[in-house]
Amino acid sequence: MTEVEIVLVNTGERKMVPQGTKVAELAEEYTKAVMAKDGKAPWPILGALVNNKVEPLQYRIYNPKTIRLLNITDRQGFRLYRNSLHFMLYKAVRDCFPEAELHIDHSLQNGFYCRIEGENLPSQMEVCSTVRERMIAIQEADIPFVCRTMLLSDAIELVRNERIPKTLYLLEHLRQLYIEMNFLDGTVHKISGKLAPSTGCIQCWDFRIFEEGYMLQCADPEHPDKLSLYSDTPKLFSIFREHHQWVDLMHMSTIADYNRIVYNGGGQQLILLAEALHEKKYAEIADQVRQSGARMVLLAGPSSSGKTTSCRRLSVQLSVLGYDVCQLSLDDYFMERERTPKLPNGEYDFESIDALDIPLLNEQLLALFRGEEVKIPTFDFIKGEPYYSGKTLKLGPRSILVVEGIHALNPKLTAQIDENLKFKVYVSALTQLSIDDQNIIHGTDNRLVRRIVRDNNFRGWNAYETIRRWPEVVRGERKHIFPYQENANVMFNSALLYELGVLKRYAEPLLKQVPEDCSEYSIARQLLDFSELLLPVDDKFIPYNSIMREFLGGSAFAY
């Protein structure tokens, strides 16, 4: 029997295996070895990175491969868990209420807000209870997830019979001969991404009533035997609800809807509508600032959320109302390198609020609100120290101060300033098109695509470098930004319905350059998978003050 060499990254072992060996066999051997060593079973293996590409356990090995087995604690493993849980919910709804439609609208703190709609449905409580019990039965039956490669024409006929029109439209406009389709005990769907081996692997979850719909709550990837903690975020949820009301009015909630509009020549009109909505929102926020009587606007948001452009555009709207707008960037209040806190690995922790000179900032803010003139520092990122260039600032009777930075909503930052003087704005790409009614595009992925394009345009970085740094960026956001988002007086959703169709023209060539021999390849492939579904839109119609110009270039604002 012919054998091939594999490298099992989990153990560092090199060994020969028979050609055609399933990854599931390696997973079984690995699980037994861990049990023998530790006396307890590891978390279920959900899939594997095979040459840095996510594959199911049914994958067969015919050539030398490097293999890393994945469980729920791995980033890619958690996606396998999540994809599988979505399919279980979809099947449960189909089994219990065949005429109903399931909509998985958006993520919400390691969970997903869902709607189940249809005629003659029982009460919300009964729907929830029935679907939950069916999901439990599906899990306990340990039904295998099956992926089949088939002719696209055959897949289209299968989906046509399933009555999922958004998915059908996507498939009908693909330009390929074969496609992978997923099956669960006779139920078929084009779930976005690979799946776990079986429903029995998906062991910790909950399905409960939430607002007008339902919450599909996931396990905590760091503690897989426990549900993720959930804290009430009414302001964030209201943004999601407003977004979905708006896209429902436009009949454009999915990539299928977007592609239909672009295919019919509506790309320019779509850009104009999306940009008009942004301008309207900035004007509304400026009106709220005036009504509040605040003298300082604190504007925060995660990486690639469009904070800087939002700061500029909000300033324009405040000027229209008669304010003399002054701006401060928290980046100029970094402390010199020797005073900067460090991470456990010894690297500087620039994401920490303690990397900022908070006493100096508060001292200068207090002086400004007393009517004094202050000398504003400028931070030299190359030398790692602040300097004074002669720049000064003084607030007049019609002045308003706009302060922008990732920590702007953290109470510690401006603890000495009267709360009545502050108006707080949180900016992020909170929502985006979904792939179809059951497959969403996460805001984090949206922001990563933005950052890949911006880093290439303005820093000369390739996609590999941006993806490599991204996990640390996200960890910093979870620690320093997201806990304070509900402190905002208002939230601004910076996502634009057309943006991925524009960004794809710049991002796809960069993503395709990520080499297969690095772990970042799996993330690049995942971003390409949904980007390739979109029809492109020409960026020549995008206004010069658009948030998109922060990433593409050509902005009317200086950054």
Could you say which of 44, 71, 98 is where a domain stops? 71
Closest by CA to 224, choosing from 58, 81, 23, 92, is 81
Can you read off the two tokens belonging to residue 213?
Answer: 């719909």
* Claim to verify: residue 474 and residue 386 sit in the same structural domain: yes
Tell me which range, 122-131, 173-182, 236-245, 527-536, is most confidently predicted by mean pLDDT.
Answer: 122-131
Write the single-letter amino acid at 346.
G
Residue 272 lies inside a defined structural domain of this protein: yes
Identify any residues that bridge with 218 across adjacent strands, giving them in sequence order: 205
367-380 mean pLDDT: 95
Give the separation between CA 340 and CA 352, rounded to whole angstroms: 9
Provide the pLDDT for residue 452.
Answer: 97
CA 428 to chain centroid, in Å, comes to: 10
CATH assignment of the domain containing 124: 3.30.980.10
Give the separation between CA 192 and CA 529, rounded to whole angstroms: 8
Percent of the chain with pLDDT over 90: 79
Residue 271 above 90 pLDDT? yes
Identify any residues that bridge with 141 across adjacent strands, giving them in sequence order: none
* Claim to verify: residue 244 and residue 220 sit in the same structural domain: no
* Claim to verify: residue 35 and residue 122 sit in the same structural domain: no
* Claim to verify: residue 401 and residue 477 sit in the same structural domain: yes
Identify any residues that bridge with 393 across adjacent strands, giving them in sequence order: 374
Q: What is the pTM of this model?
A: 0.91
* Count of Cβ atoms closer than 10 Å to residue 398 Cβ: 10
Give the separation between CA 53 and CA 74, rounded to whole angstroms: 14
255-279 mean pLDDT: 93
* Claim to verify: residue 335 and residue 479 sit in the same structural domain: yes
Residue 557 lies inside a defined structural domain of this protein: no
Write the single-letter amino acid at 78.
F
Residue 250 above 80 pLDDT? no
Report which DSSP code applies to 340: S
CATH assignment of the domain containing 312: 3.40.50.300
Arithmetic mean of pLDDT over the chain: 93
Residue 33 lies inside a defined structural domain of this protein: yes
pLDDT, tens only, 204-224: 999 999 999 999 999 999 999
Provide the pLDDT for residue 38.
Answer: 86
* Count of Cβ atoms closer than 10 Å to residue 229 Cβ: 10
What is the extent of the structural domain holding 84? 77-227
**Alpha-carbon separation of residue 449 from 245, 258, 480, 521 (angstroms):** 25, 18, 22, 14
* Claim to verify: residue 349 and residue 479 sit in the same structural domain: yes
Can you read off the two tokens belonging to residue 225?
Answer: 């035997």
Identify any residues that bridge with 428 across adjacent strands, giving them in sequence order: 493
pLDDT, tens only, 78-116: 999 999 999 999 999 999 999 999 999 988 877 999 999
Tell me which range, 37-46, 167-176, 193-202, is most confidently predicted by mean pLDDT.
Answer: 193-202
CA 413 to chain centroid, in Å, comes to: 26
Provide the pLDDT for residue 40.
Answer: 85
Core vs surface per residue 529-543: b (16+ CB within 10 A) or e: ebbebbeebebebbb
Residue with tokens 């050539």: 63
CATH assignment of the domain containing 45: 3.10.20.30
Could you say which of 48, 71, 94 is where a domain stops? 71
Q: Are 171 and 193 in contact (CB under 8 A)?
A: no
Write the single-letter amino acid at 271.
I
